Every structure is written in C-alpha cells, then in structure tokens.
Structure 1
Amino acid sequence: MNVPVKLQIGDEIRIVAPSRSGAILSEDGVKSATERLEALGFKVTFGTYAFESDLQHSASIEHRIEDVHEAFRDPAVKGILTVIGGFNSNELLPFLDYELIGNNPKVFCGYSDITAIASAITAKTGMITYSGPHFSSFSMDIGREWQTEFFKKCLMQEEHFAITPSEQWSDDSWYMDQENRTFEPTEWKVYNEGTAEGQIFGANLCTLNLLQGTEYMPDLGDSILFLEDDEMTIPETFARDLASLLQVAGEIRGLVIGRFQRSSKVTDEQIQYILDKHPMLQNIPVLYDVDFGHTQPMFTFPIGGEAILNSADCSIELTKF
C-alpha cells in the first residue's frame, strides 16, 4: 500500500464536498472549523464548488469531480478533508481519474458516505485513505480534544500508536446545540476474545455495500473489518447488511464495530444476537461499541492500512497508516 506523506504544520488542507454541500453548514460552523484547523497549524482552502447546492443539497457530478481532481493535482495541497457525508459520493466513481490520484498521493479523510469514494480510491490506486473527522467535525466544541488527538496521531506522526477508548461519548445533535449535551462513560465491549494482525478495510457498512459487484470494491479477504452505521439503520438492516458483506469478504481475521446511535435500537442484546448467527465470528477477535462512526468522539483509522487487534484487552495498535 502507498502511504501518503504525513501532514505537517504549515501544510495546506483543501476542503471538498464529494457528497453533501458545505452550504448546509452554518456560517459560524464554517468559521469555527476553519479556525480550529488553522490553530493546528494548517492553511485551509476550499474547492471552487464546495458550497454549491442543488435540489439534493449537493453539487453536480462534474463540479464535484473537478474539485477532487484539482485538490489532488495542486502540489501546494498536502491533505484533503471532506465537508460532510451524505448519500451520493458513489456517483463520482466512474468519472474519477485514478491515475491522477495515484500519481499524487496525499491524505484524504472523511467518514460516513465518504466510505464509497475513499474505498474506491484505495482499491483502484493502492493508496491508503482515512476514515476520520470531516471538516465540519472540527466545529464541535465538547469532545473535540480526544478526537483531534487521534486525528493528529494518525495523520501527522510516523510512530506506531495504540488507540485507546475515550473517557466519555455522546450521540446527541451537537451541531444544533453545543451547550446542552449528554455524555456517558465509554466502554468498548468484547464479543469474542483473540488477537489478529492484518489490513484494515471498512467504515460505513451500508455505503461500503454499494460497491459490491463493482471494480471499486476492495478485496476484503484476510482483513480486519472496521464497520459502523448510522441512525437510519435498525437491527434488521444491520443484520442483513453485515451478512451480505461477510459473504463477499470470505475469511476475515477480525471485526471491530463502531458504536451505534441510540435511535437505531441496535442494542447489546441485538448485537449479540446478530453476531451469534455467523460461525466465522466465533473464532476471530470481535469488538463492538468502539469509538468511531456516528457518535462522538471518533478516532481516525487508515483504509488499507494495517493494525494489531487484541480484543481481550480492548486494544488496537496501528502499524501501517
């Protein structure tokens, strides 16, 4: 795998919107996210069409492609952050210039719907991409410090590091009310104990499944899958989507499941019931309720990178990122 050069203080980060438009963000949100990235030492610039908005709160395929290509083409740009997630980044996949992207490797980070474009880039170019905070995520006040710490560790340092649980988590609508938030203690949970070392693939489950049967789907065999889903899922759809992905993946080495939002009703009981259906999961390490996905805070991890998973002591060490 081709590991992009790590970000450094003074680097330019380009903000692009391959899914939903930046127009859905408030002016205060854009201002605070920009200021916080600048406080980390970055120069922040925006794609020409990052705030274009159509009937579905996105931009045209042509304009989104142009912004992504320009971000990879511009030698001054060292990292690319997505504005936010959404529903339609997979529309771009047939039109991306993967040769251009592969010849200009650089940090590309986002989560949720960005899973489609990030996974496709990794599959087509061999370049590691990253599941982690969007540009908009930096406008969050409480809980941002832990999230930023692991963003920096994954994208700005060379040394191997262990991902450890946050102290507390929340799934409230922080972007609507930054003051009145509810947190509770974090607990990563063990479904099956064991250790595994391997390549990481995954992120948003329902989005990754959109790539099945296409040339944009990574080879998931012998990988450690990191999977999460959002409040639009329910236990039945999570069960269906997980079964579908495991059938495509074949043998995997480990499974790490991000924490579900409460409104999904994917409870401990439901997770145990769903995982019990799969014999392969009885013989590999499996963790769940882990700090990534659509709850806060989240850590950053490399799609196509490598990790050592020890579910018995709830540890994840990134070794290639």
Structure 2
Amino acid sequence: MIIYPTLKKGATIGVTAPSSGVEPELHDMFKQAVSRNEKRGYPVMCGETIWTQDKAKSAAPDVRAKEFNDMMQDESIGIIIPPWGGELLIEIIDKLDFASFSYKWILGYSDTSVLLLATTLRTGMATAHGTNFVDLRGEFSDETTAMWEKVLATNEGGSITQHSSQKFQKQWDHENPSSEVFHLTEPTEWKSLSVDNTTLKGRLLGGCIDVIRHLIGTSFGNIREFQEKTINNEPILWYFENCDLKTTELRRTLVQMQLAGWFDNCSGIMFGRSTANDTVEGYEVLDVYHELGQELNIPIVYDTDCGHVPPQVTFVNGAYAAVEVKEGKGKIQQWFR
C-alpha cells in the first residue's frame, strides 16, 4: 500500500540541496523565496548545503546525504523542498537511510526526481513532482503552481483535481521578474496521439527522464517489486519530462526502460513540454511517441504541464490517477488510496 503524508498549514519547510546548491550571486533570490514562504505561514529551516556550489554539486555526497537524512528524521519538519535540481543527485542515493525516514512530503522536479522516485519505490511513501523552492519566491503564484499546497494537504483516502494551465512560459527572463515568477505567454494545449478524447488511469510514477533512467538495473529502480508488493499489480501511468535529450537519446532510453520491464502493465504515458527533443536526421519526437505507442499498444499524451517549461501540475508518485485530455485541455484527478 502507498503511505501518504499530509501537509499541515504552518508546517516547517526544510530546504536542503541533495543535488545543486545556490551560487553566492543568487543568494538574494533564494532569500526572497524564504521570506515569501514565511509570510505565507510556513517557517523555513535552511540546511548548510544550500549556500554552496562547486564542481556541479552543493557538497560532497556524504555531506548532502547526511543533511537530507537528518531532515527526514526530524519530525519538526513537515515537508522538504530542495531549492532546485542539478546534475549529480544520484551520488547520494546509496547513502540515504530510507528505513529511518519519517513520513513527510518531498517536493521538486528535475534532478530531484531521482530522489522522489527512489523514495517511493523503496519505502512506499508518496512523493510529489512539482515546483521547486526558488520558484515560490513570487508575490503571487499562478493557478497551476499554487495547487501544490492543496494537493499535498489532501488527506489519505481523499482525492484532488487539477486542470491544465491556460498558458505556459516559452522562455526564462530573469532580468525582468514578474509578480508570479513565470512569464506565461503561450497558450497551453495538451495533445494525444490517438483520438480527441483520451482517458488514462493508473498509479502515477515518473520524473525527469534524463536522470531517473540511471535507476534502471539498480535496487533503487526495482519497478517489478514495487508493482507486486506495494500496488498489488495495478497498472502504472508514467509521466516523463525531457530536459536535455535529443530524440535518439530519448528513444534509446525508452527502449532500455521497456527491456528492463518498466513498461510491464503500463496503462499509458504522459510527456511534458520540452525545449529539448532535438531532431536527428529527420527523426522527430513525434516519431518517438508514435513508435512507443504502437509497440506498447497504449495511449500517449504529450505537451503536458510537467517539467522545465513551466508551470506544472503536481503529480504524486504512487497515487491512483485518472487523466482526461479533451480538445487540448487536461484534467487530472488523483486519489490518495
């Protein structure tokens, strides 16, 4: 069974950097996120790793792992939200004391999704793929991003519904900050390979495909054991987002996942919007999606609100979900059961 933490209003947010920390020139931006969240009623406890960044990591693996383990064991902390992702979170996975974790939400995306997926697979505790901490520094949050609070405050046994965004951000513009952080200018359209109306149902799992693929073949990516022992062989509904992979790299990764059994008893796959997916010799990302859908005989949905092209819905690893895509709009209902 899946264990669902519950976010309490006024809970202390623990911020630690299991992947990348914050460079000195960006400390003021980070402090703004701390101030905004405390004004919203969430005290913030900052770890030491967030203030440093050298050679593509916040600190040595042992240091990062210890700080994260300590925060997971600290029952005064109600939720952990890393400042953002990075590159080398996988270095700490084998140093995490999963058995000692207290029940609390971990929220984030990008490299953080390695931690989210591994934690759910190893412990059966739900984790949340959604906003990073630094993206909560705005005076306001857009409707899609703001749902993280309502989603994570949902009680075990309850359900929560989210909808696709109205608009998304085409490119970052840090030089001209907005009151909502993101510059939402482009109309959002969720798309399906098959028919105008598509419904997908299953247990959610996923993350940034660039990094979670490195769990394949390890004890931290044992999908078959999770299916058999934790979700009673219910179908898995995968969601992926691509940060940097070109189409051939994406295809190789998906084939490897298939060969490793990750798509056994899979009910569908959702792909987030991406600025990657560079075409190789005429091989486009739609070719990748079509081939995968035909091979697995499952529905494929793409350009969803997930990942590095914000905003994004909050997907809960382990939750049972029903996703409807109709006329370019998406509806996501998640049950915490």
* TM, length-normalised to structure 1: 0.89
- What letter is aligned with 2:135? S
For 1:167 and 1:201, the matched residues in 2 are separated by 24
Matched, 1:246 2:263: no
Instruction: Please report how far the alpha carbon of residue 190 of structure 1 lies from its aligned counterpart in structure 2 after TM superposition.
Output: 1.2
> CA 1:107–1:25 in structure 2 vs 1: closer, same or farther (change >3 Å)?
farther
CA contact (8 A) 1:14 1:71 kept: yes
- What letter is aligned with 2:191? K
Matched ranges for 1:124-163 at <5 A: 124-139=122-137, 144-158=141-155, 159-163=158-162
CA contact (8 A) 2:7 2:78 kept: yes
Shifted more, 204-213 versus 147-156: the winner is: 147-156
Aligned position for 1:59: 59
% identity of equivalent residues: 24
Structure 1 residue corresponding to 2:298, chosen from 272, 280, 284: 284
- What letter is aligned with 1:243? V
- What letter is aligned with 1:151? W
> CA 1:175–1:276 in structure 2 vs 1: closer, same or farther (change >3 Å)?
same
Structure 1 unaligned blocks of 5 or more: none
Deviations 1:35-59 (A, max 9, x none): 2222332111111332233332421
Deviations 1:263-285 (A, max 9, x none): 54469x93321122135567323
> CA 1:112–1:218 in structure 2 vs 1: closer, same or farther (change >3 Å)?
farther
Matched, 1:226 2:239: yes
Aligned position for 1:307: 321
Aligned position for 2:35: 35
Aligned alpha-carbon RMSD (Å): 2.5
Aligned position for 1:214: 218
For 1:235 and 1:24, the matched residues in 2 are separated by 35
Deviations 1:7-55 (A, max 9, x none): 1221101001000012366133112211222233211111133223333
- What letter is aligned with 2:110? S
- What letter is aligned with 1:254? G
- What letter is aligned with 2:116? A
CA contact (8 A) 1:86 1:112 kept: yes
Runs (4+) of structure 1 exceeding 4 A deviation are 179-182, 279-282
Instruction: Please report how far the alpha carbon of residue 196 of structure 1 lies from its aligned counterpart in structure 2 after TM superposition.
Output: 3.4
CA contact (8 A) 1:285 1:309 kept: no
Shifted more, 282-291 versus 201-210: the winner is: 282-291
Matched, 1:255 2:269: yes
For 2:43 and 2:187, the matched residues in 1 are separated by 35
For 1:247 and 1:176, the matched residues in 2 are separated by 45
Instruction: Please report how far the alpha carbon of residue 140 of structure 1 lies from its aligned counterpart in structure 2 after TM superposition.
Output: 5.1
Aligned position for 1:172: 171
Aligned position for 1:96: 96
Shifted more, 144-153 versus 87-96: the winner is: 144-153
Deviations 1:63-88 (A, max 9, x none): 11111011111111010001111111
